Amino acid sequence: MVNKPFRSFSFLSSFLRHFGVQFDPAEDYSLPDKVLKSSSPLVPSSSRMASTGKYKYTDIIFEIKGKVGIIKLNRPKSLNAFGGRLLIDVISALRELNEHPETVFTVITGEGRFFSSGADVKATISRKDPEYANPAEKKVATVAGFANALELVRSMVDHKKVLVLALNGPAVGGGAAWFEGQADIVLAAEGAYLQVPFSALGLVPEFGSATAFAHSMGVHRANDFLMFGRKLTVEELEKYGMVNRILPKENFHQKVLEFLEGQLEVNDGKSMMEMKRLQNIPLRRDRLMALYDALDALAERITENAHKKRFAEKNAELNAKSKGKPKL
């Protein structure tokens, strides 16, 4: 990310561990292709319905089960990183469910052991920076490059249905920051955790997450999580009010569906959606303004090359340490 691309993703893992980021991207890479194709459906194939629109989803699994719409991130080999068409797929599905006449709940979840590892770092570090005439041109280009992320978070803020995050596993970086604060209900599997390396990488909390997390867990806890990059276990998240319920990891997706169907047996769907609307009226303006403020701050950091300078410093430290180690 300094003068030439990384040659090894494991080097990035070492770099992040240097800052205490406890995340091993390799653990999910060995999933066989037959697992990726089957994608273990959230509901039985006999009772699920895919999108009725013409758009073909490639990086998510989109299903409707009765009054529950399901968006499942489906890039498990890359830990559901934000590459390919994943972001535009999620935006499209949110838009489709927003106008669906029967659904009450919109569930966002993931395939594999991770919910999401955030930005597709392998793609980013191999990308060559274009030449810009001046910092203003670079900032404008940077802001434009975040259009998908901006619209994704805006779509979640304005989503009409009850937005449920089903945290099937760990979430890191943008995977830990973009969704959790915007969800109306968070259900998490045992063993899930959140962690962000923004400060370690010379960046800032992304896309309104500072405000959204402060709304949910309080300012001081949000500062501790986002500023220091501390790993939060699912038990801590429940204690802090970020997670509503912890469910067993085994058959997690099915248990999420059963829980939501149970709520629909007891509660009126329109009433739940109206409760969500009333709850979010005073929050919406703050969250949209926070989304813009965070985009501006992130674009400035990137324009300043803060992340590259940060990486160059830490890269030099790691190289110095490795040279000092005795060879076996």
Question: Position of tokens 């300043």?
Answer: 304
CA distance 237 to 187: 11
Residue 37 lies in a domain: no
Question: Tell me, what's the pLDDT at 277?
Answer: 95
As beta bridge partners, residue 147 has none
Structure tokens at 196: 């962000």
What is the pLDDT, as a whole number, of residue 327?
57
Q: Would residue 257 count as lying in a domain?
A: no
Instruction: Note whether residue 290 is domain-resident.
Output: yes
Q: How many CB atoms are located within 10 Å of the residue 61 CB?
A: 21
User: Quick one: pLDDT at residue 200?
Assistant: 83
151 within a domain of the structure (yes/no): yes
What is the pLDDT at residue 204? Answer: 84
**Tally of domains in the chain:** 1
34: alpha, beta or left? (left if phi > 0; alpha if psi -120 to 50): alpha
Per-residue model confidence (pLDDT) at position 128: 74
- Whether 18 is in a domain gets the answer no
**pLDDT value, residue 36:** 36
CATH number of the domain enclosing 103: 3.90.226.10
Q: What is the pLDDT of residue 42?
A: 44
Range of the domain at 121: 60-252+268-323
Tokens found for residue 120: 């597709």
Shortest CA distance to 248 belongs to which of 194, 188, 183? Answer: 188
Q: How do 171-172 and 232-233 pair as beta strands? A: unpaired
Residue 173 to residue 169: CA distance in whole angstroms: 14
Examine residue 104 and state whether it is found in any structural domain, yes or no: yes
> Phi and psi dihedrals of 255, rounded to 5?
-65, -35
Residue 33 lies in a domain: no
Continuous H helices in 186-305:
209-217, 219-228, 234-240, 252-266, 269-303
Residue 273 is predicted with a pLDDT of 96
Compute the half-sphere exposure of residue 48: CA atoms within 13 Å on the CB side of its CA.
16
For the chain of 328 residues, list the mean pLDDT of each consecutive stretch of 10.
40 49 43 37 45 81 96 94 93 95 97 89 65 91 90 94 97 91 95 90 85 90 91 94 95 97 96 95 90 89 83 74 64
In a domain, 282, yes or no: yes
Query: Sign of the C-alpha dihedral, residues 119, 125, 126, 127?
Result: positive
Q: What is the pLDDT of residue 199?
A: 86
Q: How many distinct helices (H) and strands (E) make up the chain?
A: 13, 10
